[in-house]
Amino acid sequence: PPSWGGGACGALPPAWFVAPPTPRPPGRPQEEASYKLARVKKLEMGAGGVPYVVTHDGRTIRYPDPNVKVNDTVKIELADNKITDIMTFETGNIAMISGGKNTGRVGTIVHRERHPGSFDMVQVKDAQGHIFATRLSNVFVIGKGTKPMVSLPKRKGIKKTIMEERTERPPKQ
């Protein structure tokens, strides 16, 4: 190990090596603090034929449910790091956009366009009926059907129109 110096035994790492306990995120209900949603990025076989999935946040979960596929979202209990529920990436499920121009928008998956050799596109319809398209890698399923598994932001993922933004802006001096 590197020379950490000091310490009672001389071999103990300094305090900055120990991660502090993670508090409940502000504004998140207590019942949601025990689990987390994670998007499946990879599904592979490890040494000895052990299947595992890798999620968007870097977690590796061995022996997942056989129904889990890439792009699905899994509900992970934080206490034991186990998968308790699966939200499949399919038409009709509610999703949040996690990247691109439409970041933060929430809607129902309408259609998936496959483009071999390029980026697959997904069409999403928000609560106001607006349909928009984004890359598959930007879509994060957050619930089954139209019921989200996590609480939504204050505007429920609805994008403001240009006129709404204009009226909220302070007047010019």
Interval 55-70: pLDDT, tens: 999 999 999 999 999 9
- pLDDT band for 171, please (50, 70, 90 cuts): confident
- Going from N- to C-terminal start, the domains of the chain cover 30-87, 94-147
CATH (residue range 30-87): 2.40.50.740
Which pLDDT belongs to residue 16? 58
With CA atoms as reference, report the closest residue to 34 among 87, 96, 94, 81.
81
- What is the identity of the amino acid at 115? H
Which pLDDT belongs to residue 18? 59
Cβ atoms of residues 93 and 144 within 8 Å: yes
Which pLDDT belongs to residue 56? 92
Cβ atoms of residues 37 and 142 within 8 Å: yes
Class of domain 94-147: mainly beta
Overall average pLDDT of the 99-121 stretch: 94
With CA atoms as reference, report the closest residue to 147 among 76, 98, 70, 92.
92
User: H or E segment at 168?
Assistant: helix 162-168
